[in-house]
Structure 1
Amino acid sequence: MILLLALLLLLATFSTKLADRLGIPGMIVFLVLGMIFGSDGLNLIYFDNPVLAQKVATAFLIIILFEGGFNTKKELLKVAFKPAFSLATVGIIITAASAGILFHLVIGLSLESSILIGAIISSTDAAAVFALFRNKSIQPKTAATLEIESASNDPMAIILTILIIDYMLGTLSNPFLFLLNLAWQITAGLAIGYLIGKLSPHLFNRARLDNGGFYYVLILGVCFLSFGLADQLKTNGFLAVYIAGFYVGNAEFVYKQGISRFLEGLSTFSNVWLFLMLGLLVFPSEILTFWKQGVVVALILILVARPLAVFLSTLFWDYSLKERVFLCWGGIRGAVPIVLATYPAAAGLPEGNYYFNIVFFVVLISALVQGSTIDFFAGKLDLLVKKKRTSPHSLELISLEQTRAELLEYYVEKDSYLVDKQLQDLPLPKDSLIIAIVRKDDIITPRGDTTIRNKDILFLLVGYEDKHELLELFDSEATRHSAESIYH
C-alpha cells in the first residue's frame, strides 16, 4: 500500500506539467488519477469510506485555509472583505434557493432533494480557488474577493446542508435557533481567529526555540488550535482558521520566512492528497449514469444561480460589470462540495450515493470548464495584470531572534529610473544594502560601480524603519513600482 501511495504521489507531482500544457487545473488531474487507481479503475487502492474521507479532508482544508489567510495582504482584505462576506452569506442562500428551485422545475426532483443539492454545491472551494490563483496574474481586488469568499462561505453552506437534511429526516429544530446558531458560527469564528492570530506572533517571538524545526511544529499547533477551539465552542472552525492565518501572516515575528515556505509546501501537499483521496472515493461507472442530470445541474449553477448570487450580493459595492462577470465565472466548485455530498449518506438519507455522484459530476464540470478558461476570461475582460518575472534563485533571511531588518525583492522594469544607474549613485536609506542582483538567471555580486540593467531583480536588506523611505524612492510617479517582501 505504501508503495502504491508513493507512486500515486509521484505521478500526481509530474502530471502537473501535463496539466499546465493542456491548460487544465491540477485538481482535475489529481481526481482522475485517484479514480484510475481506485476500486472502480485499476482496483489498486480500495477506498469507500465517506466518513473517514470527511475527517481527513477537514484536516487538509484546515492547512489550506490557514496558508491562504497567511498570504492574504491586509490591504486587499480591507477592500474585498465586505463584498466577499456578502457573497459568502447572502450569496450562498441565493445560490442554494435559486439553483434548487430550477433543479426541481427542470429535472423533476422533489423540492427538498433539489434544494439539498443546491445547498451542497452553493459554496465555492478554497482549495480549488487558492491552488488555481497561486500562479495567476488576475487583478488583485477581484482575485482577493474570490479567495476571501471561498475561505468564508463554508459555514453557511454547511449549516444550510445540515438544516435541509434535518428537515428531510424530520428532526429540524426551531428556526429561531437556526438563525441564532448562524450568528454564533460567524461572530465567534471571527473572534477566535482574531484572538489566536493576534497572540501567536508574540508566542513566536518569546519562544526562543533552539531548533528552527520546532517553529514549524509551533505554527501547525496554532493552525489546528484555531480550528479545534472553534469546534469545541460549536462555532465555525474554517472561518477561524482563515482569520487566524491572516493576522499571523500580516505580523512580523521570528522565523517567519521559513514558516512561509513551510506552509506553502504543506498546503500544496494537502491540495494534492485531498483531490487524490476524493478521486479514490469515487466510482466512475456510477457517476457516468448521472451525466445528463449532472450537466443540467452544472449549467444551471454556472449560468443562472451563480450570476444571480453575484449581482445581488455585490449590489452595494463598487465593482464594474467586467469584474462582476469574472466573479460569476470564478466561482469554482471543488473539495468542499464533494465533502458536503457525503453528509446525506452519513446521515442515513435514502439515495445518499445519488447526491454524491451528482455533486461530484458538477464539480468536475466546474473545475474543467471554469478552471481551464479562467485566464481566457480574465484576458477578455481586461483583468489580467502584468506578471512579474520570477527568478530561479531565492535568497532567504531566516532568524531565530527578532530583527530590525527585512529582505525585499524588487524587479527593475525598462522604464524605471534605476536603469543604467550605478549602485554608488543610489540615495539608499542608511543601513540599507543591495546584497545580490539576479540578471538573466545568474547572480551578480553587487559593487559600487555595478550598473543596474532592465529586468534585473534586486535583493535588498533594509531596516523596518527605512522600508517606507525605500519604497517611496523606488515608487516614483514616473514608474509607480512597488517592492514586495519575499516573506509573502
Structure 2
Amino acid sequence: MQLEIGVDALLLVGSGLLLLAGLASAVLDKAGARFRVPGALLFLGLGMLAGNDGLGLVLLDDPQLVQNVGTVALLFILFEGGLTTKPTDLRLAALPGALLATIGVAVTAGITGLGIWLVLDLDPVTSLLLGAVVASTDAAAVFSMMRTTPLPRRISALLRIESGANDPIAVMLTVGLLATLAGDEVTAGDWAVFALVQLLGGALVGLAVGGIGVATLRRLDLGVEGMYPVVAGALGALAYSSAAWAGASGFVAVYFAGLLVGALVPRHRRSIRGVHEALANAAEIGLFLLLGLLVTPSELPPVALPGLLVALLLAVVARPVAVWLCTLGQRFSWRERALVSWGGLRGAVPIVLATFPATAAADDAGAIFNVVFFVVLVSVLVQGTTLRPLVRGLRLQVDRPAWAPVAEALPIEGLDVDLVEVFVTEDLALHGRRLHEVPPPDRALVAAIVRGHRVLIPRGDTRLATGDVLLLTTHRQGDVLTRMTAWARGEVPTTGGSTALGHTGDPVTADDDPAAPGAAGPATAHPGTDDDER
C-alpha cells in the first residue's frame, strides 16, 4: 500500500532546486569576494538546466501561470523593499526617484523602441512594445544587489525608490501598446489617465492600508512575537488586492504599505524585517527558477544578436540619457550618474511583462519573450558582475551597506525594557570616543559590546571602534530608537556627571570600583581589554 499525492513529485524537484540554488549562491558569495556571480543569473541557469531543453525534470509552457506566480513573488520582494526603505531615503532621493520611475521609464522605452525600429526589422508599435517591456528596472535584482554591494546612501535610496515604484508606467505602456496592436483606439489621454490612476491610486491605497496596519501593530498586543510578521504580510497582500480592485497599481500600494510599517513600527521591526527578508529571498529564487523553466534555451541563439543590440542600446544610450535628464539640477556628480545608470538592473519584471504579449495572443509574442530574456541575461551577467568593481573604480565605495540601521530594538517580552543594538560606524559621533565621553541617554545602560566574534564587558575607558555593536538596555518609554540614534549621531547633548554605562555618577573603571558592573574582572570574564580594544 502506498499513498501518493499529485504534488509530491513537484515538491521534490522544487525543494531540491531551491536548496541547490541557495547553497550554490552562498558558496559563490563567499568564494567571489571581488567578482560576485549574481544570484539571479545562477537561478535562471538552474531553471534552464532543469527545464524543457535540459534535464526535463519540470516541463513548463504556461505563460499565464508564470505571470500569476511572478506577481505573487514580486509582492514579497516589493514589501520587503518598502520595509527596508527608511524615511531618510525619501528625503534624500524622493524627487529623482519619482522622476526616474515615471518620466525615466517613458524616456527609456521611447529611445529603446526607436533604436529597435531603426536597427531591427520590426514595425514601430512592436518596437515600442519591446522597449516598454525592458524599460523598468527590476526590484528583485536591485534589492538583491544592494544587500551585498556597498553603495553610497543617496545612490542606494534612489535605486530603491525607482525600482519599487517604476512598474506601473511600464505596465501602462505595455498594456496600451498591446491594445494598439490589437486594433483598439488608445489616445494619449487614455494613457495619461491610466498612469495617474495607477500611480496616485496605488500610493493612496498603500498609505491607507499601511496607516491602519501601523495603528494595529503599535496598539494591539498580539501575544507572540512571531505573529507580527504574519499580520504585516497580510497587510501587504491587502494593500495589493485593494489597489487592484480599485483599478490602481498593487505594486505601488504594497511598496508604500511596507514603507509605513518599516518606518513606524520600531518595536517589532526586527522580527518583521527578518521574516520578510527570508520570504523575499525565497520569492526571488523561486521566481528566477520559474522564469528559467519557462524559456526554451534552444530558441535563444537566433535572437542572440538582436538581444545583444537591444541590451547595448538600453545600457549605454537609453538608460544614461534618462538618468541624466531626471537628475538635472539635483547636485549629482557624473560619477553618481554613471553608477545609477549602470545599477539599473533588468530582471524578473521585464520577463514577467514579456509574458503579456503571449497571454494576449499577440503576433511575435515568442520572439519578444526570447529577446527580453536574452536582454535580462546580458544585464545580470555584465552589469551585475561589474557593479562592485565600478563602485570602487568611481571611488564611491562605502564600508557599510547604506540600508544598515543605526539602532535596532529587541523587545524583552514580559518586561518594560528594550534591548537596543547600536551599530558604530565612522560617521557617528561615537566612533573613536571612550564611553565615559559619550554617556548614553537617561535610563539607558551599555550592557555589552560585540566586537568581531567576541563580546566585551564595557568600561568607562573602553574606546569604540568601527564595526562595534553596542547592546544597551533601556526603559520602554517614548521613541527609544529615535533617542538612541540621536545619541549615536551626536545630535543631543550629553548630561554631565554621567558614566559610560549609565547616569550613576563618575565614570566607572576597574581602579575605582572593582565590584562595579562595568569594572574589570578576571581576564577570562571579558577578553580583550587592552587599550587597543577599548
Q: Offset of 1:172 from its aligned partner?
A: 3.3
Q: Offset of 1:450 from its aligned partner?
A: 7.4
Q: Which residue of 2 aligns with 1:443?
A: 455
CA contact (8 A) 1:193 1:239 kept: yes
Q: Unaligned stretches of 5+ in structure 2?
A: 1-8, 492-534
Q: Which residue of 2 aligns with 1:12?
A: 21
1:470–1:35 distance in 2 versus 1, CA, 3 Å: closer
Deviates further, 206-215 or 408-417: 408-417
CA contact (8 A) 2:79 2:236 kept: yes
1:470–1:236 distance in 2 versus 1, CA, 3 Å: closer
* Letter in structure 1 aligned against 2:462: T
Q: Which residue of 1 aligns with 2:215?
A: 202
CA distance in structure 1 between the aligned counterparts of 2:182 and 2:482, rounded to whole angstroms: 60
String of CA shifts for 1:376-424, please: whole Å, max 9, x gaps: 11122222112379x9xx9972456896746132326699776584x56
**2:171 is the counterpart of 1:161:** no
String of CA shifts for 1:432-478, please: whole Å, max 9, x gaps: 111222133022344x567346454322234556766655554359x
CA distance in structure 2 between the aligned counterparts of 1:182 and 1:426, rounded to whole angstroms: 51
Q: Which residue of 1 aligns with 2:489?
A: 475
**2:230 is the counterpart of 1:221:** no
1:256–1:470 distance in 2 versus 1, CA, 3 Å: closer
CA distance in structure 2 between the aligned counterparts of 1:97 and 1:403, rounded to whole angstroms: 57
CA contact (8 A) 1:137 1:384 kept: yes
1:97-246 paired onto structure 2 within 5 Å: 97-246=110-259
Q: Which residue of 2 aligns with 1:433?
A: 445
Sequence identity of aligned pairs in percent? 36
CA contact (8 A) 1:408 1:461 kept: no
Secondary structure of the residue aligned to 2:37 is: coil
CA distance in structure 2 between the aligned counterparts of 1:63 and 1:170, rounded to whole angstroms: 36
Secondary structure of the residue aligned to 1:341 is: helix
1:302–1:467 distance in 2 versus 1, CA, 3 Å: closer
Secondary structure of the residue aligned to 1:459 is: strand
Q: Which has the higher contact order (CA 8 A, sep 6+)?
A: 1
* Letter in structure 1 aligned against 2:469: I
Q: Offset of 1:304 from its aligned partner?
A: 0.9
* Letter in structure 2 aligned against 1:387: R
CA distance in structure 2 between the aligned counterparts of 1:327 and 1:403, rounded to whole angstroms: 45
**2:292 is the counterpart of 1:292:** no
TM-score, normalised by the number of residues in structure 1: 0.90
String of CA shifts for 1:112-134, please: whole Å, max 9, x gaps: 11111000000000110000111
Q: Offset of 1:138 from its aligned partner?
A: 0.5
1:44–1:314 distance in 2 versus 1, CA, 3 Å: same
1:403–1:115 distance in 2 versus 1, CA, 3 Å: farther
CA distance in structure 1 between the aligned counterparts of 2:84 and 2:263, rounded to whole angstroms: 8
CA contact (8 A) 1:437 1:458 kept: yes
* Letter in structure 2 aligned against 1:31: L
Instruction: Choose the corresponding residue for 2:91, options 69, 78, 81.
Output: 78
CA distance in structure 2 between the aligned counterparts of 1:77 and 1:248, rounded to whole angstroms: 15
1:256-275 paired onto structure 2 within 5 Å: 256-275=269-288
Secondary structure of the residue aligned to 2:300 is: helix
Q: Which residue of 1 aligns with 2:385?
A: 372
Q: Rg bigger for which structure?
A: 2
Q: Which residue of 1 aligns with 2:510?
A: none
Aligned residues, how many?
Answer: 473
> What value does the CA root-mean-square deviation take over the aligned residues?
2.7
CA distance in structure 2 between the aligned counterparts of 1:336 and 1:259, rounded to whole angstroms: 25
Q: Offset of 1:5 from its aligned partner?
A: 1.3
CA distance in structure 2 between the aligned counterparts of 1:110 and 1:432, rounded to whole angstroms: 68
Q: Which residue of 1 aligns with 2:54?
A: 41
Secondary structure of the residue aligned to 1:272 is: helix
Q: Offset of 1:259 from its aligned partner?
A: 1.2
TM-score, normalised by the number of residues in structure 2: 0.83
CA contact (8 A) 1:209 1:400 kept: no
1:377–1:420 distance in 2 versus 1, CA, 3 Å: closer
Q: Which residue of 1 aligns with 2:397?
A: 384
CA contact (8 A) 2:448 2:455 kept: yes
Q: Which residue of 2 aligns with 1:485?
A: none
